[in-house]
Amino acid sequence: MVAGALSTFPFTDATRKWGAVAINHFRLLLAFILLTLIVMILDKKSPIALFTVPTSSEYIYLFISGIVGLVIGDYFGFHSMAILGAKRFSIFNSIAPGAALGFGFILVDEHINMIGIAGIAVSIGGMMWFIEASNTREIDKHQVHEYGKSSKGVLFGILSGLCQGFQIALAKKAITGDSGLTPVHATWIRLLGAMVAYFAFTFLTGKFNERVLTPIRKEKSTFLQASIGTILGIVLSVVLFMWSLALCKVAVTQTILSLAPIIALPMAYLLYKEKMTVKTFFAGLVSIFGVCLLIWRDDIAAIFGWHLH
């Protein structure tokens, strides 16, 4: 969660210079190269074993998870991040636990009671309060320039949160198989699927040179920020995310990830001098409280002797 939250700041700057398409291609390629070396060392697997150990069903679920989370979801996320800024975008992570619970119920038979539903409502309410309480001067500035309208940033932030919830349920479905797939290896497969799909789409649409190579060549100084964001946001964050997913329920892992605003708020103040008002602080706490209701819904029901399933 900490690594993912910290990665939003270099990624925000890099996206505003390169654009969401270029930064997504760069980070997928770099992360795949680094993770190939890591999985071969940690899991002691040959290049051939990387492809032959997983089952066909694991490939399917992890490929779809990678495309939904690392291509589609992050496409929406990077656009929202560029428009709203890292601090405002981070609150949309609170949507993901509710989405993860819903998709988890469908894919891995995880259930939710009325306390969990209340938690979703509280979390979304806190998110909306956070947006309303945030200073809008920076958003208005972006609306004049190239980043896009604030309404688009909000919509894409919501879609990003939904995609993150869906992709975590898909990944959980994959790593419950019998092949003994490790979290690092599973992350590598997700990256492989995302990278192949995204690069193929960009090449087939004839946009690779215009949307990827040209922006990167113009802003070579952004390589460092993009690389730091990739190491924190994929190589470290996603591997730890898969490890957590192997040990915990879908909602637990996604809840931990959704706590990013707690890190993002003070970091936004330190890095960008974005003011944190009392309202935004408490709105963030309300959203996190809703997430806590989600994670401990069964324990709360047991304490009061409620049977809410």
DSSP state of 259: T
**CB-CB neighbours of 224 under 10 Å:** 11
Q: Report the pLDDT value the prediction gives residue 12, as an integer from 0 to 100.
A: 73
Angle of the 20-42 helix axis to the 74-84 helix axis, nearest 10: 130
Cα distance between residue 278 and residue 274, in whole Å: 13
Give the three-state DSSP class for 145. coil
Mean pLDDT confidence for 84-92:
72
Helix (H/G/I), strand (E/B), else coil: 275: coil
275 falls in which pLDDT band (50, 70, 90)?
Answer: low
Averaged pLDDT, 105-120: 77
Q: Is 277 left (phi over 0), alpha (psi -120 to 50) or beta?
A: beta
The pLDDT of 10-21, averaged and rounded, is 81
DSSP 44: -
Q: What is the pLDDT of residue 261?
A: 59
Q: Where are the alpha helices (DSSP H) in 19-73?
A: 20-42, 47-52, 56-66
**279 within 8 A of 129, measured Cβ to Cβ:** yes
- Residue 94 is given by DSSP the state G
Residue 238 in this model has a pLDDT that exceeds 90: no
Burial, 109: exposed, middle or buried (Cβ in 10 Å; 0-12, 13-18, 19+)? Answer: exposed
Q: Is the pLDDT of residue 141 over 50?
A: no
Beta-carbon-side half-sphere exposure of residue 24 (alpha carbons within 13 Å): 27
| Residues in contact with 57: Cβ distance below 8 Å, sequence separation at least 6, in sequence order | 174, 177
- Percent of the chain as helix, strand, coil, to the nearest 5: 85, 0, 15
Of the candidates 139, 64, 135, 161, the residue with the CA atom closest to the CA atom of residue 280: 135
- What span, in angstroms and rounded, lies between the C-alpha atoms of 232 and 76? 19
Determine the residue type at 27: R
> Around Cβ 242, how many Cβ atoms within 10 Å?
26
Mind listing the pLDDT tens digit for each residue in 246-271? 666 666 666 666 666 566 666 666 66
pLDDT the model gives residue 252: 65
Lowest mean pLDDT among 62-71, 76-85, 279-288, 300-309: 300-309
Q: Which long-range contacts link 108-115 to residues 24+ away (Cβ below 8 Å)?
A: 108/169, 108/172, 108/173, 108/176, 108/250, 110/249, 110/250, 110/251, 111/309, 112/297, 113/297, 113/298, 113/301, 113/306, 113/308, 113/309, 114/308, 115/293, 115/297, 115/300, 115/301, 115/306, 115/308
